[in-house]
Amino acid sequence: MSPNAHITSHRKPRKTATQSWVIRTGVAGGVLSTLAVAGTASASTAVDKPAEATQEMPAFNAALTTSIAQSAVATQQTAVDYQVRAQVDEATGNATADAKKAKDEADRKAEAERKEAEAQQKRDAEQTRASRGGARTTLGTKAAAADETSTPAATGSVAALISFLKSKADGPNGSHASYVMGATGPSAYDCSGLVMAAYKQIGIDLPRVSQDQSTAGTQVGLGNLQPGDILYWGPAGSAYHVAVYIGGGKFIGAQNPGVGVVERDMSYSPPTGAVRVL
pTM of the model: 0.48
Domain final position from 127, 150, 173: 150
Residue 26 belongs to some domain of the structure = no
Average pLDDT of 3-23? Answer: 50
Domain final position from 150, 172, 206: 150
- Domain residue limits at 142: 55-150
Does residue 200 sit in the same domain as residue 157?
A: yes
Residue 5 belongs to some domain of the structure = no
Q: How confident is the model at residue 149 (pLDDT cuts 50, 70, 90)?
A: very low
What does each C-alpha distance from 42 to 31, 39, 171 come to in angstroms? 17, 5, 148
Q: How confident is the model at residue 51 (pLDDT cuts 50, 70, 90)?
A: very low
Q: How confident is the model at residue 160 (pLDDT cuts 50, 70, 90)?
A: very high
Residue 9 belongs to some domain of the structure = no
Inform me whether the pLDDT recorded for 71 exceeds 80.
Answer: no
Q: The domain that contains 203 carries what CATH number?
A: 3.90.1720.10
Does residue 192 sit in the same domain as residue 247?
A: yes
Does residue 139 sit in the same domain as residue 165?
A: no
Residue 18 belongs to some domain of the structure = no
